[in-house]
Chains A and B, each alone.
Chain A
């Protein structure tokens, strides 16, 4: 995250001194008392603050409290009773929970590099193309903008064992139809392919915008010096793209942990529990098993895991060797 404040040192004053801008000073005497207690800049921040408190901080507190409780639904009401760490103690013996964490890590480990590499390659290609640049820049955005549920339906129409388009194509080529989503490995590969189709376009937009920001002079200078296309991209363009690629990777990493819609629609987490990623598992525990306390405990563990990964990334950036253009 860059700080736009750094370009305006005069504004980076302590909060208390900030109201002393000349025009405000002149009108100070007419300002009603409530205005001084609640200046406009504070009032303007209140809606955001209230939203974060009521719909992020408070639910978070409730989540932690729920994870430490046994919650029954009786007569349409929640009945809470303290359970200590019992819900957390359940986790190590829960094979499905451990599998859902593992398969989520695998899912992230494959889809993040795949979408980042593919999206970057597409961005470079669009910049180099002339004939197809306009069309591709438009069409390549579609998967990232269409509702994920619709993306899932599109792939259901393609992969469905009965009358799915892919099997129809195979049959007309004289090949045997496949049960794409029917086997564990087939289902896992399928959701990975769908995810790459779905989100490589997002990386494409991000990297393409970063490419637009590169000075054409830099590239031309390298070309004039006799560098080949490959050398230009490897030694001039790629290093300049490092911050954008890092940002895109981080965004895709958190998106991988959020993935839900595609599995819910395409595989319902199956066959068996093969594609039950953590988000889907939390839903199942919470809404199918109605085990509210345990669902909350798994949620807390997911949040802690993401927090740990992000903290590692932050530490890595702070102490790592990437002090070059990566921090520009």
Chain B
């Protein structure tokens, strides 16, 4: 229960916070505003504002690759979330509830955690020849697998944390009733860790939607790339494509901002649990 002192309005806190919020909000607002400005308004001196959907029509015209790239990114997100949820909940459950020694558990988690400490670019040469050997270079399947590798350690740790909170007795009584291990996991334990699965899904979806480095290095660009590569391709020093850039950036950022507003609580939980434990 908040005491009187915590309900008081402290200008010493409110004013700097207002400034910080504004400094975060304005640059984001800028891209939203520019995305609906006629190009003339952007490239003339001084300030004039209008409204047009021309930038969006331009980037999503059929001759442009961006609509295909949005589709690619959606497929990558769906595939990565599915793989991370299934492999991550299995691994998290095994490490949490199936009697591995503390030493084994820590060894597995540390081995998985090391992957996330290495700069992905330093692994790119090795990953490049690996995907090449598997015939997956430039494919969406290859990108799904790479996104999965770098998100799976986090997904496993987070699922373990949630399974740790489910009482032992529940699993044991399910087994006593004759359910198989697999059935116990799918029908009894997994539903109880559903909040963890939701947090994993949101986190992995954001990470794989935003992923750029593998999309850039493992594909040949154009219609084979995720949308993040498409946005980067618009930034050309000697070409003014601000309108298209802003429109595409808005199309990619708005779903995430909506998610940030709607699922704020989940995101905070996912980031803190995963980051601190991992």
Contact = CB atoms under 8 A, between A and B. Distances in A.
A122 to B, nearest CB: 6
Interface in A57-109: 58-63, 66, 78
A268 to B, nearest CB: 8
B112 A155 contact: no
Tell me if B's interface is mostly helix, strand, loop or mixed.
helix
A4 B164 contact: yes
B141 interface: no
A62 B118 CA distance: 15
Given A47-B87, A129-B14, A295-B125, A142 B252 contact: no
A138 B257 CA distance: 9
A218 interface: no
B10 A147 contact: no
- Interface residue tally of chain B, by bracket? 35 or more
B75 interface: no
Interface residues of A, number: 119
Contact of A142 (B17, B24, B123): B24
Interface string A138-157: 11111111111110111111
Interface stretch (B41-49, B52-60, B192-200): B41-49
B72 interface: no
B173 to A, nearest CB: 9
B252 A303 contact: no
Contact of B259 (A5, A21, A47, A145): A145
A126 interface: yes
B78 interface: no
A296 interface: yes
B161 interface: yes
B122 A140 contact: no
Contacts of A191: none
Contacts of B206: 145
A222 B129 CA distance: 60
Given A52-B112, A129-B14, A4 B161 contact: yes
A24 to B, nearest CB: 7
B210 to A, nearest CB: 4
Given A126-B17, A147-B210, A278-B121, 16 more contacts: A3-B106, A21-B172, A22-B172, A27-B175, A48-B87, A55-B149, A132-B18, A136-B17, A147-B253, A149-B232, A154-B27, A158-B27, A163-B242, A206-B276, A265-B232, A282-B122
